[in-house]
Amino acid sequence: MTKAIAPRSRKVRILATLGPASNTPEMIGRLFEAGADAFRINMSHGDQASKVPVIEAIRAMEKIYGRPTTILADLQGPKLRVGRFAEGKVLLEVGKRFVLDRDPTPGDVNRVELPHREIFAAIARDARLLLDDGKMVLRVVEHDDEHIITVVEVGGWLSNSKGLNVPDVVLPMAALTDKDVSDLAFAVEQKVDWIALSFVQRPEDLAEARKLIGGKAALLAKIEKPSAVARLEEIVEACDGVMVARGDLGVELPPQSVPPLQKRIVETARRLGRPVIVATQMLESMITTPSPTRAEVSDVATAVYDGADAIMLSAESAAGAWPVESVAMMDAIANAVERDPMHGDRVHFTVLKPDPTTADALAEAAKNIAVTASASAIICFTLSGSTARRIARERPGVPIMVLTPKAETARRLGLLWGVHAVVTRDVASFEEMVAKAKRMALRNNIAHGGDRVVVCAGVPFGTPGSTNVLHVTQIIGNELKNYDNES
């Protein structure tokens, strides 16, 4: 039995990470009802077999609520780690020498194995090595093919297999590890909608993933390294969406650099028409407490004011004690911000210039006509989703209802600002397009009798990327008569 649930009134989307605290069918349904629009599956934890019932539960929930739901599979990426110590851990003291080498012998207070040949090939004098999420800092003073000799600048206890970051050089490492290739093939086989690539350094890193995906999912680049920031525009152009992954950015860059960089990434993605997700530590305190700090609330609000397409919960929804409450709180914050009369002005602070194409011109016109004609919604027919992406880029002040015959397209649009996607049969004529737009607006409570709506489509119908029609029509209110079983 299908449960009726009204379309979200807010424009920004909520991406909730699933994990031990939330990966049952019951919890997934509760997260959706609390406000989650899309679900992230972290491939860093657990095996592939454990992900199958989670994906099946999301798809089953789709049928219960009658709404396409987005699944994002997040690949682990190349994780750099030091080796092991004879006594399990050592104390690194400021000013002392510490050597990283190729010797697999368990380490001591003077040295430890670094099992990553690529670092030895790329490292440079004065480069920093950050250990255990940046808690300790080493400075390179000398190096060769077998040894990296450093001085401890920030000390502390270093234990077995702790993570290592190299922020000052571009490492000649493949963006996809063997594990990632296997996980990507699994994600494609499971028909997830988005695949996120971790630790992207350059646009070339995306090429192999794009080839392996083969058009069967959208590709998202996680911006979490300084080297990626240096080629940000090229990376954004090479992918279908981006994530501001503030966790590793905050390790490899000074913390005060992250907020302006977040705004830069959001602005670049919006300007180039790619959906952008702001992620990591948004409501971190809700892992253990039922309410967030005021600083966390402001952090979420800032991302919404900046016009991000989506905001993400990580451990809050995956492993925390209050997963449903975390989603509900994020939903409440986003709704409050979007009700602010100044929200529209702030969202449009980023100046966007449409490309010199008919489709971009019509997308900008649709937003402007919706304002001038006091329309209640923009309705677009699309096969590939490109029309919806163009309209969402303009951040119109009214809902965007997308009608598509392809479930895959509807699901991929779940990370797009303001979009409510509906899977429905395609149309074959202009008259059928207008009539169906009215009926679907009524059926989905997007508009009501007496409302005007703006309709966008491409003629000839069924041709991807051919947006060339813009039509304003008024709904009477009786359009659903004799259409009870329409799909």
- Positions marked catalytic: 40, 81, 222, 280
CB of 318 closer than 8 Å to CB of 287: no
Ramachandran assignment for 273, one of left (phi > 0), alpha (psi -120 to 50 degrees), beta (any other) = left
Map tokens 């039995």 to a residue: 1
Omega before 460 cis (within 30°)?
A: yes
Sequence-ordered list of residues with C-beta below 8 angstroms from that of 49, at least 6 positions apart, any chain: none
Strand partners, 368: none
CB of 246 closer than 8 Å to CB of 258: yes
CB of 92 closer than 8 Å to CB of 82: no
∠ CA 111-113-116, nearest 5°, is 135
- Taking CA atoms, 407 is separated from 66, 187, 422, 463, in Å, by 12, 17, 8, 17
CB of 220 closer than 8 Å to CB of 197: yes
Q: How deeply is 419 buried, as exposed, middle or buried, from its count of CB atoms within 10 A (0-12, 13-18, 19+)?
A: buried
Q: Using the 8-state DSSP alphabet, how is residue 285 labeled?
A: G
> Nearest 5°: phi and psi at 162?
-70, 155
